Amino acid sequence: MADYKIITHPDPFLRRKAKKVSSFDKDFQALIEDMFNIMREAPGVGLAAPQIGVSQRIVVVEYTDPDIEDAKPKTFVLVNPEIIKHSEETTEDLEGCLSVPGLVGMVERWDAVTVKAQNRFGKTVKIKADDWLARIFQHEMDHLDGVLYIDKATEVFEPTPEEAAQIKD
């Protein structure tokens, strides 16, 4: 694994717009694996490349559906993602971030999104997501444009231990 570490606010790198990915070579594949390892070790449910100091439009997510008993985690790699459709409905909920340690905030997000992206091999994919997964996608994709959840939060605060247990990046 390369020597990446999660960078934290107020590092100015987090405010940069990431560059589009054009190469899906061996080094790119290694970066994807590194991102999953860093995210799991943190632990978090999502990680965007800018969070480890890499200016590329890449998001990795590992999500377990809370409504399915004994559900296995699903992994997603979103390269050059864009939201092409979203619900009218929004929900405000608690979010945290590996790049903003020790704080959480209430953020309003669309309840459902359709994301068009490339997978880790460059193939175009469309993913429909709702509820928590839609929130994760929106949060991580914001990182690609230099936006942090604290920019959108109606309030930001130190969580109680119970709140902290509910939240992962």
Structural domains present in the chain: 12-166 (3.90.45.10)
Which pTM does this prediction carry? Answer: 0.94
Composition of the chain by helix, strand, coil, percent to 5: 30, 35, 40
Active-site choice (89, 95, 140, 163): 140
Mean pLDDT of successive 10-residue stretches along the chain, which has 169 residues: 91 98 97 98 96 98 89 96 98 96 96 98 98 97 98 94 69
* pLDDT for the residue 83: 98
Q: How many helices (H) and strands (E) does the chain have?
A: 4, 8
* pLDDT for the residue 49: 98
Helix (H) or strand (E) holding 137: helix 131-144
- What does the DSSP assignment read for 11-39? -GGGGSPPBPP---SHHHHHHHHHHHHHH
* pLDDT for the residue 142: 98
Is 140 an active-site residue? yes
* pLDDT for the residue 168: 54
